A and B are shown apart, each in its own frame.
Chain A
Amino acid sequence: MIVIIDYGVGNILNVKNGFERIGLKPILTDVPTVILQADLAILPGVGAFNAAMHQLKSRGLDKVIIQRANSSKPIVGICLGMQLLFESSLEHGKTKGLDLLKGTIVPFKTHLKVPHMGWNNLFHQKSDLVNQGLPKDAFVYFVHSYYLEGFDEADLVSYTEYDVKVPAIVRKRNVVGMQFHPEKSGEVGQQLLKNLKELVQ
């Protein structure tokens, strides 16, 4: 069973639609026992970091996600959901994150346009279950104004370039993050969602 953690931020229907297009039937839930028992849990998210953390905490879901991560069952953060997995973010002042992975979410400091919005290509730091089966030039859809810095190089799977090196896929054992939107990334995105399914043991 795949669950999408529903904590009252933004539109999470698109993530559900994405999994349904590859033939899976994820359920949306905020029930701790369901989240803990699922084979695969997805933490989606759009909007601001502090607001999202506040929503998670007010539902007690921060502790549930940490408990799940410690139980070695796969948890995947998408877009803002990935950012929440890290120590902290500097969006609207410093906010503490779930602290499952090492690193800080910081604003882009670039002459390029912000948000980093559109299709950008992936470079692979290493070969991993989650970046298998992609074409040589794999483009995915990004929309974000903040990115991950100060991460553990060992956790980096794939990245893109936007003036700076922007982590795109991270993984530390059962904890996975994708900064872009796989559910909006065409064929490449479909392959990435299929790969996530493979995380289920």
Chain B
Amino acid sequence: MLTIRIIPCLDVKNNMVVKGKKFKNIKTLADPVELAKKYRDSGADELVFYDISATHEGRDIFLDTVRNIAKNIDIPFTVGGGIRTINDFTNALFAGADKISVNSAAVKNPELINEAANKFGNQCVVLSLDVKTVGNQWKIYVNGGRKNTGLDAIQWAIEGVQRGAGELVINAIDEDGIQSGYAIDLMQAIANVVNVPIIASGGAGKLEHFKDILTGDYVDGALAASVFHYNMIEIPTLKAYLAKNNINVRRI
């Protein structure tokens, strides 16, 4: 039986993993390959690496990091951040990424999703959505959560999948970094309208949050950063807890 996926997310700049709440006090944490190995050995099912450097030199350094990860890590990983063109897709895939996550650039140019899916297959195109509650609606934000695009999140999810996205990562930015639980209503609403895997992101703080979002089979995985980076939750403990709660996990 297909298992749910536990996915640590690593923000990378200049070949270092960083984690800072709202980017203000960015804190250098670790070597990406070393941290990735640690997560792989503790039972992570997949990893996500975001390039947060946002410069051309940063981009090149990041691709070296990706090559290094691909050499050393034998579980699947997604690369995102700064993916703007089909060329960026090509570079990251040929550096060894299994999937490429695209966000703002797809909002600006939705055809990028079609182009990438046609060229590389739907399975390696991940559409990442930054979603914020505005009134009684869910809206798509870009530029690191600063700019409201006015797009309705549900409609955008449907369109993204129609255009060829093979997986959605739904990042609830109201919940991001405050560790009060995943945005269950949002994830359910999107799961009801698409038939591709959905990864929930934003809000993980304790074991129960993972159980709450992973019970009921509508999301396929849960992504988190701080709780893993700061050792608040160990993956073997998390998986044992989920298994005890009848959630199908891969135990190693």
The residues of A with any CB-CB pair to B shorter than 8 Å are 10-11, 13-14, 17-18, 20-21, 46-48, 112-121, 137, 139, 141, 143-145, 161-162, 181, 183-187, 189-190
Contact = CB atoms under 8 A, between A and B. Distances in A.
Given A47-B120, A113-B195, A145-B122, A118 B45 contact: yes
Contacts, number: 88
Contacts of A187: 252
Nearest to A161: B1
A190 B75 CA distance: 11
Interface stretch (B13-21, B93-101, B141-149, B150-158): B93-101
Contacts of B74: 17-18, 21, 183-186, 189-190
A10 B195 contact: no
A144 B176 CA distance: 31
Nearest to A181: B76
B75 A186 contact: yes
A117 B166 contact: yes
Nearest to B120: A47
B2 A14 contact: no
Interface string B217-242: 00011000000000000000000000
A149 to B, nearest CB: 19
Given A11-B96, A185-B74, A46 B1 contact: no
A184 B72 CA distance: 11
A17 B251 contact: no
Interface residues of B, number: 31
Interface of B: 1-3, 5, 40, 45, 70-72, 74-76, 93-94, 96, 98, 120-124, 166-167, 195-197, 220-221, 250-252
Given A119-B45, A143-B123, A145-B123, 9 more contacts: A13-B94, A17-B96, A20-B71, A21-B72, A47-B120, A113-B195, A115-B122, A118-B221, A120-B3
B116 to A, nearest CB: 12
A55 to B, nearest CB: 14
A13 B70 contact: yes
A191 to B, nearest CB: 11
Nearest to B196: A113
Nearest to B122: A115
7 contacts: A46-B123, A114-B195, A115-B196, A118-B45, A145-B122, A162-B2, A186-B40
Contacts of B167: 117
What are the 8 tightest A-B residue pairs by CB atom distance, in nearest-first order? A139-B250, A119-B250, A143-B123, A115-B123, A119-B3, A120-B2, A184-B76, A118-B2
A47 B121 contact: yes
Contacts of B45: 118-119
A46 B3 contact: no
Contacts of B75: 141, 184-186
B121 A46 contact: yes
Given A14-B70, A47-B121, A184-B75, A118 B220 contact: yes
B123 A186 contact: no
B39 to A, nearest CB: 11
Contacts of B195: 113-114
A46 B96 CA distance: 13
Select the residue from A47, A115, A120, A185 with max chain B CB neighbours within 10 A.
A115
Nearest to A114: B195
Nearest to A121: B1
Contacts of A114: 195-196
A13 B96 contact: yes
A17 B250 contact: no
Contacts of A189: 74
B188 to A, nearest CB: 15
B170 to A, nearest CB: 15
A139 B120 contact: no
Nearest to B118: A48
Contact of A118 (B3, B40, B94, B120): B3
A119 B3 CA distance: 6
B166 A186 contact: no
Given A137-B251, A139-B250, A115 B76 contact: no
